[in-house]
Amino acid sequence: MYSIKKLLQDGKNIQGEITLKGWVRTFRSNRFIALNDGSTIDNLQVVVDFENTDPELLKRITTGAAIEVKGRLVESQGKGQNVELQASNISILGDSNPEEYPIQPKKHSLEFLRENAHLRVRSSTFSAVMRVRSTLAFAIHKYFQDNGFFYVNTPIITGSDAEGAGEMFRVTTLDAKNPPLNENGEVDYKKDFFGRETNLTVSGQLEGETFAMALGKIYTFGPTFRAENSNTSRHLAEFWMIEPEMAFYDLIDNMNLAEDFIKYVLQYTLEVRRDDLEFLNKRFLEEEKTKPQNERSTMSLIEKLEFVIHNQFKRVSYTEAIDILKNSNHNKKKKFQYPVNEWGVDLQSEHERYLVEKHFECPVILYDYPANIKAFYMRLNEDGKTVRAMDILFPGIGEIVGGSQREERYDVLKQKIADLHMDEATLWWYLDLRKFGTAVHSGFGLGFERLVLFATGMTNIRDVIPYPRTPQSAEF
């Protein structure tokens, strides 16, 4: 069976009667069916010979109905398509009662569609977003595999809160109401499924490092979790992360890789999913029109993608960034909620946005952060107060990548773990990497949904993942 994508591309070369299955998007004038099968954003126009078609059947050609059409492709008289299908026979595979079907051919609010997440992918916007998501995912695998990286599935259930990156979800099979207690009156996790307390992973990095120190260059691409009660348009409790990790890479190599990688996957997706992105581009421009003039983007969605692909990311040290922020008019006029007064403060999202959107007006790589606002595993610089960390900040998105050169020195890392009162016993294997054949190495994490947000021009992260998990919400 042909896909509509194929028919619209090569229709002129396809002779004879064909059979097609898909869903009705619209049916107008008892004559023209816009048929979609999910293979492309575009519909195929099916022309119905309504005078010779049973009126009862015509009534059942409604938005959402699944139909089978037999007919011949002919050159289209209408605009916007090369071919259309002259139907000789139509049969209804599955009805769709117009009184009940939620996804009618009109503009629905994104909130309404979220409540119907099982059907929203039948809309043009969400089908485009989800196809773009799929292509981005493949571009990621392709980039790494073409460049000698190996894909590693780090564990989802983990016994170690390695990063201390945030609150975690407990994974358990213990009786919820009456858990077994040990002699100290505490929950006896020895009786739990894994014989210990276990959680959902917040990052595959530490396990990823163990593989990089054997296979050289690896990447993960899997789900990660944060049990944080943040109901924002940028946070999910369950999201997908890509975490490459490379032996013998220093921070500069790491930045170069991250920049090249992001440009590649956007370029690839722009080529392969051009039709969906043009649709999302139109949508983006319409959304912009509803904003006050001074809040509108100076670029269209596709222009933003092209801009990232063709411009160098600006590399700025934390120290330079603090100077810029401290001396900015914005700061002097006290327009930041968190004023920037001294070196050492953590950057807030408002500061990142100022740097990216107002000051540099391009993606920015910030590096060499103060040690005490960054994670324990980051390589301490010779100055003793900064670490070889880097964050990549994107316009409209904020942090899209966070990475670092890893501390490769056994004694320094061991001391850091002690200073932070972390549990060295659960990190014995991580320390082993520094004991046996250690070397400079680096890696980063990229939040997949933030990349999809950027590529699609959507503004709420719940709209770029099939079934979002957020506080108080795990429907479907």
57-86 residues near a second copy, rule: CB under 8 A? 64-66
Smaller CB separation from a second copy, 22 or 402: 22
- In the complex, minimum distance from the CB of residue 317 to a second copy, in angstroms, rounded to a whole number: 26
Is there a contact between 22 and 37 (Cβ–Cβ < 8 Å)? yes
33-62 residues near a second copy, rule: CB under 8 A: 37-39
Q: Is 431 helix (H, G, I), strand (E, B) or coil?
A: helix
Which tokens sit at 37? Answer: 């099968």
Is there a contact between 228 and 166 (Cβ–Cβ < 8 Å)? yes
- In the complex, minimum distance from the CB of residue 416 to a second copy, in angstroms, rounded to a whole number: 18
Q: Does 439 engage in binding with a second copy (CB under 8 A)? A: yes
- In the complex, minimum distance from the CB of residue 328 to a second copy, in angstroms, rounded to a whole number: 39
- In the complex, minimum distance from the CB of residue 198 to a second copy, in angstroms, rounded to a whole number: 5
Q: Does 106 engage in binding with a second copy (CB under 8 A)? A: no
Distance CA 340, CA 327 (A): 9
Q: Does 112 engage in binding with a second copy (CB under 8 A)? A: no
Q: Does 3 engage in binding with a second copy (CB under 8 A)? A: yes
- In the complex, minimum distance from the CB of residue 200 to a second copy, in angstroms, rounded to a whole number: 7
Is there a contact between 56 and 49 (Cβ–Cβ < 8 Å)? no
- In the complex, minimum distance from the CB of residue 383 to a second copy, in angstroms, rounded to a whole number: 23
Q: Does 154 engage in binding with a second copy (CB under 8 A)? A: yes
Smaller CB separation from a second copy, 65 or 321: 65
Q: Which stretch binds a second copy (CB under 8 A): 277-285, 298-306, 346-354, 467-475?
A: 467-475
Q: Which stretch binds a second copy (CB under 8 A): 44-52, 154-162, 329-337, 357-365?
A: 154-162
Q: Does 110 engage in binding with a second copy (CB under 8 A)? A: no
Distance CA 319, CA 325 (A): 10
286-345 residues near a second copy, rule: CB under 8 A: none
Which tokens sit at 119? Answer: 């059907």
Smaller CB separation from a second copy, 216 or 370: 216
Q: Where are the beta strands (DSSP E) in 76-146?
A: 83-94
When binding is defined by CB under 8 A, the residue of 176, 184, 292, 329 that contacts a second copy is: 176
Nearest to 331 by CA among 348, 313, 316, 317: 348
Q: Does 423 engage in binding with a second copy (CB under 8 A)? A: no
Any idea which residue has 């015509």 for tokens?
Answer: 58
213-232 residues near a second copy, rule: CB under 8 A: 213-217, 222-223, 225, 227, 229
Size of the site for a second copy (CB under 8 A): 107
- CA distances 217 to 138, 150, 213, Å, are 18, 6, 8
Q: Does 460 engage in binding with a second copy (CB under 8 A)? A: no
Q: Does 184 engage in binding with a second copy (CB under 8 A)? A: no
Which tokens sit at 293? Answer: 């003039």
CA-atom Rg of the chain in angstroms: 27
Is there a contact between 139 and 147 (Cβ–Cβ < 8 Å)? no
- In the complex, minimum distance from the CB of residue 239 to a second copy, in angstroms, rounded to a whole number: 9
Q: Is 3 helix (H, G, I), strand (E, B) or coil?
A: coil
Q: Is 429 helix (H, G, I), strand (E, B) or coil?
A: helix
When binding is defined by CB under 8 A, the residue of 252, 440, 459, 460 that contacts a second copy is: 440
Distance CA 196, CA 158 (A): 10
Smaller CB separation from a second copy, 40 or 331: 40
Q: Which stretch binds a second copy (CB under 8 A): 75-83, 285-293, 341-349, 427-435?
A: 427-435
Q: Does 238 engage in binding with a second copy (CB under 8 A)? A: yes
Smaller CB separation from a second copy, 373 or 412: 412
- In the complex, minimum distance from the CB of residue 229 to a second copy, in angstroms, rounded to a whole number: 8
- In the complex, minimum distance from the CB of residue 242 to a second copy, in angstroms, rounded to a whole number: 12
- In the complex, minimum distance from the CB of residue 137 to a second copy, in angstroms, rounded to a whole number: 5
Classify residue 288 as exposed, middle or buried by CB count within 10 Å of its CB (0-12, 13-18, 19+).
Answer: middle
- CA distances 163 to 159, 204, 444, Å, are 12, 10, 13
Smaller CB separation from a second copy, 115 or 306: 115
Q: Does 96 engage in binding with a second copy (CB under 8 A)? A: yes
Smaller CB separation from a second copy, 166 or 370: 166
- CA distances 35 to 30, 31, 226, 386, Å, are 14, 12, 41, 58
- CA distances 43 to 33, 46, 91, 94, 317, Å, are 9, 9, 18, 19, 49
Q: Is the dihedral of CA 362, 372, 234, 332 positive or negative?
A: negative
Check residue 473 and report its DSSP letter: B
Distance CA 27, CA 64 (A): 10
Smaller CB separation from a second copy, 38 or 370: 38
Q: Does 172 engage in binding with a second copy (CB under 8 A)? A: yes
